[in-house]
Amino acid sequence: MQEVKYDTEDRIAALATAWSPSALAVIRVTGPGAVEALAPLFSRPSALVEAKGHTAVHGHLVDQRGKVLDEVLATVFRAPRSYTGQDSVELSCHGSLPGLKRILAALTGEGGQRGLFRPAGPGEFTLRAFMNGKLDLTRAEAVQELVAARTETAQTLALHRLSGAVEQRIRTLANRLLDLTALLNIQLDYAEDDVDTVPVPLGLLEEVRAELALLAASFQTGRVYQEGVRIVLAGRTNAGKSSLFNQLLKEDRSIVSDEHGTTRDWLESWVSLGGLPVRLFDTAGLREAEGVVEREGIRRTHELIEAADVILYLVASDEGPNDEDRKFLDLWSHDARLLPVLTKTDLLTPHFQGSELTGAVLLSSKTGVGLSDLESAVKARVPGAVRSGPEGPVIDSLRQKNLLDRAIAALDQVKEGTDLGMPLDMVALDVKEALDALGEITGEVTTSDILDHMFSRFCVGK
Ligand SMILES: Nc1nc2c(ncn2[C@@H]2O[C@H](COP(=O)(O)OP(=O)(O)OP(=O)(O)O)[C@@H](O)[C@H]2O)c(=O)[nH]1
Ligand SMILES: [Mg+2]
């Protein structure tokens, strides 16, 4: 393995919690001799130095001149039994920003003076964990994905990856390819002798390929849960867009009134729709605009509709669709992103049943009836949305997706080579290419560029 940009053998420190006032804040330090290095800044140095791994020591942090900075609880971890695999201390401090500033300055040096610890860069703790064999690259990536998760489902999926679901799948498949390599090698070694040649087991190859393809396809799900789905509420004025927006947000964000043209500019918010992270847009109602401002608002509505993943086109059931609605619905009828919604169903009269709106979801923002139907209908329109729970591991890393594709392409070459009766050593090369790609996924094969690129996207302190 090549050198990485970060030094992984010096001592580093970083705030692991958010930079905002809070009850507690955690500062992490790690590196060879980290506990001893911290001792001069601790009111009970010998208690700290003598502390066993996985124990907590109560005391005060002091600066170089002995001035008390904070009362803290220091949790000591001894190598190799720590997150990074190196000696580490997690300092539970009070979450005051001026206090944290002083502590960090005491740890990492101030006024041009070098401190006892270097300020850690993004992802440095996890990088060390990887370098010390604490986690493979799929788990390391899951750490960041877990921190970035926006909904419970996204968090569950990331947690599954952190527990090694992807790693195990990859390793199992790699082992099966290794068996295949061994088989090919035996035949190559004894090619001259009179051994019975065993054909390349195409069944096994096909099975491994199918599993890899399944994992690669799960990237779509991973993306949906990490990036979210853009859903636009559109329709004529007074269709009930803002009311539905507020209902889904569970707060009165958008102004609702029976005046036509209430919403003039678009509003946006993140909501969870049955675990699906959604960027929801409320828009200006579509009609013949009455002024420059409204015209601009409507222009923006059209822009948002174009860029949407799902377009909820609302029609109020007390009015029913008019010519404008029919025109819109006609125009978009062949676009799978369109989902007609009949609103205000609490006002539904027997003479109008919304029969014109085929496939429409019926709901009332006033009573909440029909919201779960909306949820299922949206999920059905989003490729990659999971309905109950995911079957197998789900990936959320473009890096992993590209490597899976590389492995699949290599296996296709193996199949083709075998079909064409290519020499076994050529076939074996393609199997090796597939194995290399799988090795890169878990990090057995890697370069400093890959690591730099990957860990630079992490939070500091992770
Ligand atoms: N009874 C009933 N009234 C509703 C419902 N949803 C909305 N309304 C009423 O319909 C009127 C218009 O609702 P809005 O949510 O402001 O409609 P909009 O589509 O945002 O309208 P514009 O912003 O003007 O484009 C308001 O008086 C709401 O109270 C519903 O489910 N039931
Ligand atoms: Mg509105």
CATH number of 23's domain: 3.30.1360.120
Single out the residue of 455, 457, 411, 416 nearest to residue 437, CA to CA. Answer: 411
Count of CA atoms in the C-beta half-sphere (13 A) of 430: 18
Q: Which DSSP helix (H) or strand (E) runs through 171?
A: helix 165-189
Q: Is residue 221 part of a domain?
A: no
Q: Are 149 and 129 found together in one domain?
A: no
Structural domain containing residue 269: 227-381
What per-residue confidence (pLDDT) applies to 2?
45
With a threshold of 0.85, does the pTM exceed it?
no
Single out the residue of 102, 143, 158 nearest to residue 461, CA to CA. Answer: 143
What per-residue confidence (pLDDT) applies to 1?
46
What per-residue confidence (pLDDT) applies to 421?
87
Q: Is residue 325 part of a domain?
A: yes
Taking the CA of residue 256 as reference, the ligand 1 atom at the shortest distance is 16
242, 251 in Cβ contact below 8 A? Answer: no
Handedness of CA 46, 47, 51, 56 (dihedral sign): negative
Q: Are 299 and 424 found together in one domain?
A: no
Segments in the chain below pLDDT 70: 1-4, 111-112, 191-198, 349-356, 387-390
Q: Which residues fall inside 5 Å of ion ligand 2, going by CB?
A: 241-242, 262-263
Q: Is residue 317 part of a domain?
A: yes
Please give the distance, rounded to the nearest whole angstrom, from the Cα atom of residue 278 to the centre of ligand 1: 21
Q: Are 41 and 158 found together in one domain?
A: no
CATH number, domain of 308, equals 3.40.50.300
462, 125 in Cβ contact below 8 A? Answer: yes
**Phi, psi (deg, nearest 5) at residue 398:** -60, -35
What per-residue confidence (pLDDT) applies to 77?
98
Q: Are 36 and 176 found together in one domain?
A: no
What per-residue confidence (pLDDT) applies to 334?
92
Number of domains observed in the structure of the chain: 3
Q: Is residue 3 part of a domain?
A: no
What per-residue confidence (pLDDT) applies to 453?
84
Please give the distance, rounded to the nearest whole angstrom, from the Cα atom of residue 290 to the centre of ligand 1: 19
Between the alpha carbon of residue 433 and those of residues 188, 257, 451, the distances in Å are 18, 63, 20
Taking the CA of residue 365 as reference, the ligand 1 atom at the shortest distance is 31
308, 337 in Cβ contact below 8 A? Answer: yes
What per-residue confidence (pLDDT) applies to 386?
74
Q: Is residue 53 part of a domain?
A: yes
Q: Is residue 257 part of a domain?
A: yes
Greatest alpha-carbon pair distance for the chain in Å reads: 91
